[in-house]
Amino acid sequence: MNFRFSARALVLTAMTLLMLWLLLWLGFLTHADRQQRILWLVLALLPLVIVGYFLWRDRKGGFTWCGFMALGYFAQGVTVVFTSKSDAGSGAAEVFLSLLLFSAASAALRARRQNTPQPSTNPRPFGER
């Protein structure tokens, strides 16, 4: 069996893990009423679902937006770690998963750039055909 590195698979795995963690944390482990949990889940998961569609179709813009969004989830996790003693562990898990997602998206973009053909570096002199 031949295993090879697939940055796209790593991004999809990291995003799925982040989505599952947010679903578990905001859906079940948080101390809020049902309506607040549903609102938090929609606001937290909807951007990931939208970008996930573009990642699944292997679009370059999806990987770029995934990196940008990972920074937002990172900021939220850091805020939770430093402001909530009871949810500090949950915030740390979100920080770890968002860093994994950012790194995977960066690796995917780098791999795509290496696979694209480079333009010729020796242009013809002016007037030569």
87: DSSP letter: T
In a domain, 2, yes or no: no
Q: Cα dihedral sign for 49, 72, 64, 92?
A: negative
Displacement of CA 51 from its chain's centroid (Å)? 8
Query: Above pLDDT 90, what percent of the chain?
Result: 63
Please give the pLDDT value at position 91.
94
Instruction: Please determine, for residue 124, whether its predicted confidence score (pLDDT) is greater than 90.
Output: no
128 in any annotated domain: no
pLDDT of residue 59: 84
The number of domains in the chain is 1
What mean pLDDT is reported for the chain?
88
Residue 47 lies in a domain: yes
29: pLDDT strictly greater than 60: yes
What are the pLDDT digits (tens) for 43-97? Answer: 999 999 999 999 888 888 899 999 999 999 999 999 999 999 999 999 999 999 9
| Domain interval for residue 70 | 7-113
